[in-house]
Amino acid sequence: TVEKPLAILADSAAPNGRRLAALATLPPGPLNEARFTLALEGVRRDEPFDRRGRAAEILARSPLSYEQRLALAKSLPSVGPMELGRVLEAFATADAVTASALFTGLRGSGLHPDIVKTKLSKVPGVEAFVRELDAEAVKQKERLDAMLASLESGDVRRGMAVFHSPKAACVACHAVGYVGGKIGPDLTRIGRVRSRRDLLEAVVVPSASFVRSYEPVSVKTKRGLVHNGTLKEETSTQIILTLSATEEIRINRKEIEEMTPGKVSIMPAGIDKNLTPQELADLIAFLEACK
């Protein structure tokens, strides 16, 4: 029944996190301004990880009005990096005016060109924008070298706090010791096998290289849908793809037209933009100390 979540939504004294969780349980449908604002504020990068995920799901699945799409496009610079790809689904059929605001909002996000190409294939002007992103990607090595040269000395204890913080949310996908997720590689001894530059690259440009057994795959279905993720499970009849820290999809093998090695890590680019230079240095120091 929807009575309980509707009552929570109507309670202005209820915490936003509880109201957002209630909204997420309702069937997809148009959002009034109060609900749209609740989701828009919930997807900001400074919100808790689970709240951002719920808000992104709501925005992606809801039929937004023209004004709401435009407002979301202008808010993209404040959207968390882990939620950005999901939110793009709200713009699958954007018009030229919304597309212009959308591309402006995505500049500097670090989003991989292939994600833009796949999720925004019908948006006017996307080909030119993808070429712009491709040109930026060529400069990544120079940017990485400059970041490494200017990286401050870090503090391991503070870095551990960053690792577990909602801003970085590393612990959602990676384990250190017995604590953390299993979606990405275990980082308990990562400092033994990766240099300082390797670690910085993994955070800043996660699609530059992939750890064995965590390589992404791209699955194209016979309906023309493309899914990028890592193989969680496969049988003779189906596969389960992990798409992100909060999403997975089950695909029947009969529905698959093509499955190829992917180019895009499910770890989102742009996590470094969510951190201060000192927080980034502390995080790298913590990872270096994981031996």
Give the confidence band of 143 by pLDDT, cuts at 50, 70, 90: confident
What is the CB-side half-sphere exposure of residue 176 using CA atoms within 13 A?
A: 20
Domain stop point among 138, 157, 175: 138
Report in angstroms the alpha-carbon separations of 111 from 52, 75, 268: 17, 15, 7
The domain tally of the chain equals: 3
Q: Are residues 52 and 88 in the same domain?
A: yes
| pLDDT above 80 (res 214) | yes
Domain stop point among 138, 172, 200: 138
Give the confidence band of 50 by pLDDT, cuts at 50, 70, 90: confident
Q: What is the pLDDT of residue 269?
A: 86
Give the confidence band of 230 by pLDDT, cuts at 50, 70, 90: very high
DSSP track, the chain: --HHHHHHHH-TTS-HHHHHHHHHHSPS----HHHHHHHHHHTBTTS-HHHHHHHHHHHHHS---HHHHHHHHHHGGGB-HHHHHHHGGGGTT--HHHHHHHHHHHTTS---HHHHHHHTTTSTTHHHHHHHHHHHHHTHHHHHHHHHHHPPP--HHHHHHHHHSTTT-GGGT-EETTEE-SSS---TTHHHH--HHHHHHHHH-TTS---TT---EEEEETTS-EEEEEEEEE-SSEEEEE-SSS-EEEEEGGGEEEEEE-SS-SSPTTGGGGS-HHHHHHHHHHHHH--
Cβ contacts of 204 within 8 Å, gap of 6 or more: 110, 140, 143, 144, 147, 269, 271, 272
Between strands 226-234 and 238-242, the pairing is antiparallel
Q: Are residues 100 and 152 in the same domain?
A: no
Q: Are residues 174 and 100 in the same domain?
A: no
pLDDT digits (tens, 9 = 90+) for 54-72: 999 999 999 999 999 999 9
Q: Are residues 257 and 236 in the same domain?
A: yes
Domain stop point among 117, 138, 159: 138
Cβ contacts of 238 within 8 Å, gap of 6 or more: 250, 251, 252, 253
Q: Which residue has the tokens 């240099």?
A: 195
- Give me the phi and psi of 24, to 5 degrees please: -65, -25
Q: What is the pLDDT of residue 140?
A: 82
Q: Are residues 145 and 133 in the same domain?
A: no
Q: Are residues 278 and 228 in the same domain?
A: no
Q: Are residues 122 and 225 in the same domain?
A: no
Q: Are residues 235 and 181 in the same domain?
A: no
Percent pLDDT > 90 in the chain is 76
Q: Are residues 57 and 123 in the same domain?
A: yes
| pLDDT above 80 (res 146) | yes
What value does the mean pLDDT take over residues 83-112? 92
| pLDDT above 90 (res 139) | no
Q: Are residues 199 and 226 in the same domain?
A: no
Owning domain of residue 72: 3-138
pLDDT digits (tens, 9 = 90+) for 108-137: 888 889 899 989 999 999 999 999 998 888
pLDDT digits (tens, 9 = 90+) for 263-282: 889 998 889 988 999 999 99
- What is the pTM assigned to this prediction? 0.79
Q: Are residues 160 and 40 in the same domain?
A: no
Average pLDDT, the chain: 93
| pLDDT above 90 (res 202) | yes
Q: Which residue has the tokens 């919100």?
A: 47
| pLDDT above 90 (res 77) | yes
Give the confidence band of 39 by pLDDT, cuts at 50, 70, 90: very high
| pLDDT above 80 (res 160) | yes
Q: Closest by alpha carbon to 209, among 219, 220, 195, 198?
A: 198
Q: Are residues 133 and 24 in the same domain?
A: yes
Report in angstroms the alpha-carbon separations of 273 from 16, 166, 201: 25, 14, 13
